[in-house]
Copies of this chain bind each other. A is one copy, B any other.
Amino acid sequence: MEPSILSPSEAREMIREGSWKGPTAGMANGFVQGNLAVVPRELAFDFLVFCQRNPKPCPVLDVTDPGSFAPLLTAPGADLRKDLPKYHIYKDGVLSEVTTDITNAWTQDMVGFLLGCSFTFEQALLENNIPVRHIEENRNVPMYRTSIECVPAGNFHGPMVVSMRPMKQADAIRAVQVTSRFPNVHGAPVHIGDPGKIGIKDLISPDFGESVTIHRDEVPVFWACGVTPQAVAMQQKPDIMITHAPGHMFITDIKNESTAIL
């Protein structure tokens, strides 16, 4: 069966059964996918306040009750311990295990966070005839650490990470309009133009992901990126923290369009 036409629950079942182990881009087309972050209860309040204070990089889609692994708002029947194709388990801030099932690591005091991901607004850009370069070039989106400091919360603090998509000036204006409708998946850009203004030295050398071609008549457009909260949390070297593996997201029951504000 074509992965793009699966329903979200069919896609999650394939993943849970181990018959899909790859990235989730393009699966269950039209439905919101989420970044996963799992932290112990003792860190969860500060992490949630951090997200509240930095809604552009950290748009919260769902928070589980402590110990529960069901995302109540976005896919009540799902199991966050098994329904993503690949997880990263970090101990003391160091990647210690890559796995397809985190049932054993999910202790009673774990809290799961689902954060909005850019797949949703990229779909909206494409539907508005705005080309998305890293999709055209079949690469991972280029991401950069910036000089924009997030608003700290508790021990969590650090720079905002942004993703970059090059486009024509006229498209950049339309892109502001289109993505403003989706505040739950990073919303409007945080910067357009000179990368130096936000502390980025070289667009050719992203801190995460891969570089993409920028044509002469194009301007770089920067969006707050969901890598930010993970990077910030990891600096605290929590005893344990679990995330999705890059590109291996959680597929929700929420349609992209239904997260739009207008």
Contact = CB atoms under 8 A, between A and B. Distances in A.
A168 interface: no
Interface residues of A, number: 22
Given A53-B72, A183-B261, 12 more contacts: A41-B45, A48-B48, A48-B49, A48-B52, A65-B153, A65-B154, A72-B151, A177-B262, A181-B261, A181-B262, A183-B183, A187-B261
Contacts of A45: 41, 44-45, 48
> Interface SS of chain A: helix, strand, loop or mixed?
mixed
A135 interface: no
A186 to B, nearest CB: 13
A162 interface: no
Question: How many identical chains are in the complex?
Answer: 2
A261 B179 CA distance: 10
Contacts of A60: 52
A49 B73 contact: no
A126 to B, nearest CB: 21
Interface in A193-241: none
A136 B112 CA distance: 47
Nearest to A153: B65
A186 B91 CA distance: 40
9 smallest CB-CB distances across A and B, nearest first, come from A45-B45, A49-B63, A180-B262, A261-B261, A48-B48, A52-B60, A52-B63, A183-B261, A53-B73
